[in-house]
Chain A
Amino acid sequence: MNTRVDHNDAARMNRAMLSSMTAPTWRWYLLAAVLGGVVALGLYAFTVQVTTGMGVTGINRPVMWGIYIISFVFWVGLSHSGTMVSAILRLSQASWRRPILRGAEAMTVFSIAVAGLFPLIHLGRNWIFYYLLPYPNQRGLWPNFRSPLLFDMVAINTYIIGSSIFLYIGMLPDLAVVRDRSSGWKRRVYAFLAMGWRGSAEQWRVFSRGSTLLACLIIPVAVSVHSIVAWDFAVTLVPGWHSTIFAPYFVIGAITSGVAAVITLMIVIRKLFKLEEFLLPIHFDNMAKLLLAVCLLWSYFYFAEVFTTWYAHKPIEWEIFRFMTSHYGIIFLIMMLGNTIVPIISLCFRRVRRSIPALLIITVLVNVAMFIERFLIVVPSLSHKNIPFIWGSYTPSWVELSIGIAAFALFFLLYTLFAKFFPILAVTDVREQEEALIGSQQLGRTRVGTLVNEE
């Protein structure tokens, strides 16, 4: 029995996987309009802040960093999705990454782009943000490269450019497929983007080696970016922040956040674009196992952090934890539930891992818990800092909440636009997998499929 893919099959698969790129319906326009509206609301809130002053936020002394920095850390964390799924799974040759990797890589680019906005939003004098850039001037001014915020700028820059290149290179063969299937002005655009890719054997060889090299390069960048963001906190004298575990702790938190977000997004696009044929329960099963592993790691790091604080019981450090659990007790419990209790217990069961509705709830809960975790890192430590006389608290204002929500809307809007104009599934990767299934063979008492795997 010849189960080899033939020409008609390939065309059909192309059509199915590229179904998101058909002409937009009124529903799509409505979605884009709603998301655009929320972004506009955020822009209005930002305008209020820029024209009136930072006083419209909830920032005060001692809590000088609030929702903006929390969002910044959260979105940088989410950007580890693509790196984890695409790069690490590519290097470990996990073939189940194939339907997921485009969506994950796109997530990385858009979440780091959204994250990069927040250092500009949280400035007291946003209009002179360019002071942070090393540009030649006649006044002898230069930014301070010893400051962790400058490390941030360099690292985020590197990551945005690096992940965009990673996304683009990976998309090159798929853009050629889209080019072949389109006409008119669209064809010219995709032809330009595909840069004349023809899929010759030499091009494929270079492509596959190059993608592996890019994956090797992007992983250390991702780890360094989130470590640098962690060191924004860890190099200070603020009790509760000055901890050596922060860099690995943040990286693991980022991977947890990213993997959960990839699962959520895959569930959504699977439903929206009817990709049930390509995103199978086995994919979700494997991603859920990955999520279980990183949730365990996160819980381990958190436990180590709390346990060492509790045992040494340095007064100011323990005070921070006491304040957090008493003043923010409810959201602390939600965080523990979402990051530790629910995922670890439920994802041990195969039935849960293969159940799409259960995974949707669990992964959204993980990301809610991760956002709370960022909040509980930033705010309690600052609220009850070294000197008790100035202890305070923090409540976000409508401006900060609007901008925080608008960031989510912006991310989803960018993603929606991307899904409409670019292939959201890695078409050629999935078809390569299908083509590798070259037949079936009698083995013992049953027939099994035979798969080609190139080392």
Chain B
Amino acid sequence: MEILGIYKTLDSAATAVDQLIADGVAEERITSLSSVPYPEGVLIRERRRPAFYLSTLAFGAFGALSGFALAAGTAWLYPLRTGDKPIISIFPVGLITYELMMLFAIIGTLIGLFWTMGLPEFNRRAYTDEIGDGAIGILVMTGDDEELVRARESLLSSGAERLCTEEEAG
């Protein structure tokens, strides 16, 4: 369950985060929603480093292998002499291997990014259109009703313009 408090200025949003922590909400459960990024620590501190690099590397390695198989492997299976050039040589095979490695690395980055960002997200989540126009949302992910009530009170007391949950999202 999620509850979102909407704030109009950066300062009020920052106060809200401090208030939530003071009221006993675990820091890992708090995040900000905004249409522009804020520097590290302005609202939320970084918890763990994103690991989408692994996806890039894995896909890149696969791409290099498939490039090699495509250029060298297929040429070895179906050799046809052209000029005096060897059937398999370093330059053409190297180029194709490199290109496919980069292609798959980029695709792997896309997949890795989406995975770590939690996208695509088509379920209803707490959100409001005002965030696109510059409002800042402070989101609390709560486990049960008691935490929800506590978070709601804390957000209200720190001056949220309004609150919204998944059901009201729109």
Q: Do A and B come from one complex?
A: yes
B32: nearest chain-A partner, CB-CB: A201
Min CB gap A15→B, angstroms:
9
**A145 located at the interface, meaning its Cβ lies under 8 Å from any Cβ of chain B in the complex:** yes
> Is B37 touching A432 in the complex (CB atoms < 8 A)?
yes
Min CB gap A171→B, angstroms:
13
A244-B34 Cα distance, complex, nearest whole Å: 51
A321-B73 Cα distance, complex, nearest whole Å: 42
Given A213-B53, A214-B109, decide whether A146 and B132 contact each other with a Cβ distance below 8 A. Answer: no
A169-B32 Cα distance, complex, nearest whole Å: 20
A181-B119 Cα distance, complex, nearest whole Å: 21
**B125 located at the interface, meaning its Cβ lies under 8 Å from any Cβ of chain A in the complex:** yes
In the complex, how many residues of chain B place their beta carbon closer than 8 angstroms to a beta carbon of chain A?
A: 65
**A276 located at the interface, meaning its Cβ lies under 8 Å from any Cβ of chain B in the complex:** no
> Is B120 touching A177 in the complex (CB atoms < 8 A)?
no
A176-B121 Cα distance, complex, nearest whole Å: 12
**B58 located at the interface, meaning its Cβ lies under 8 Å from any Cβ of chain A in the complex:** no
Min CB gap A46→B, angstroms:
28
A173-B38 Cα distance, complex, nearest whole Å: 14
Within 8 A of B (CB), among A194-247: 195-210, 213-214, 217-218, 220-221, 224, 228
> Is B102 touching A220 in the complex (CB atoms < 8 A)?
yes
Give chain B residues whose Cβ lies under 8 Å from the Cβ of A158: 99-100, 102-103, 106
Give chain A residues whose Cβ lies under 8 Å from the Cβ of B109: 165, 210, 213-214, 217
Given A140-B78, A198-B33, A200-B32, decide whether A207 and B113 contact each other with a Cβ distance below 8 A. Answer: yes
A195-B112 Cα distance, complex, nearest whole Å: 14
**A4 located at the interface, meaning its Cβ lies under 8 Å from any Cβ of chain B in the complex:** yes
Map CB proximity to B onto A2-33 as digits: 1 under 8 Å, 0 otherwise: 00111111110010000000000000000000
Stretch from B18-26, B43-51, B148-156 at the A interface: B43-51
A11-B135 Cα distance, complex, nearest whole Å: 9
> Is A201 touching B43 in the complex (CB atoms < 8 A)?
yes
A198-B33 Cα distance, complex, nearest whole Å: 6
* Prevailing SS type, chain A contact patch: helix
Min CB gap A210→B, angstroms:
4
Map CB proximity to A onto B78-101 as digits: 1 under 8 Å, 0 otherwise: 101010010001001101101110
> Is A207 touching B135 in the complex (CB atoms < 8 A)?
no
Give chain A residues whose Cβ lies under 8 Å from the Cβ of B110: 165, 169
Min CB gap A237→B, angstroms:
11
**B131 located at the interface, meaning its Cβ lies under 8 Å from any Cβ of chain A in the complex:** yes
Say which residue of B9, B35, B44, B135 sits within 8 Å of A201 (CB atoms): B44
Min CB gap A26→B, angstroms:
29
> Is B102 touching A217 in the complex (CB atoms < 8 A)?
yes
Say which residue of A5, A144, A200, A210 sits within 8 Å of B113 (CB atoms): A210
Give chain A residues whose Cβ lies under 8 Å from the Cβ of B103: 157-158, 161-162, 221
> Is B114 touching A199 in the complex (CB atoms < 8 A)?
no
Given A196-B122, A200-B139, decide whether A169 and B113 contact each other with a Cβ distance below 8 A. Answer: yes
Within 8 A of B (CB), among A138-155: 140, 142, 144-146, 150-151, 154-155
For this complex, 11 residue pairs linking A to B, each with C-beta atoms less than 8 Å apart, are: A7-B133, A165-B107, A181-B133, A198-B127, A205-B50, A206-B117, A208-B37, A210-B50, A221-B99, A224-B98, A435-B38
Residues of A at under 8 Å CB distance from B?
4-11, 14, 134, 140, 142, 144-146, 150-151, 154-155, 157-158, 161-162, 165-166, 169, 173, 176-181, 195-210, 213-214, 217-218, 220-221, 224, 228, 428, 431-432, 435-436, 452, 454
**Top-6 shortest CB links A-B:** A10-B134, A180-B132, A196-B121, A204-B37, A201-B44, A195-B120
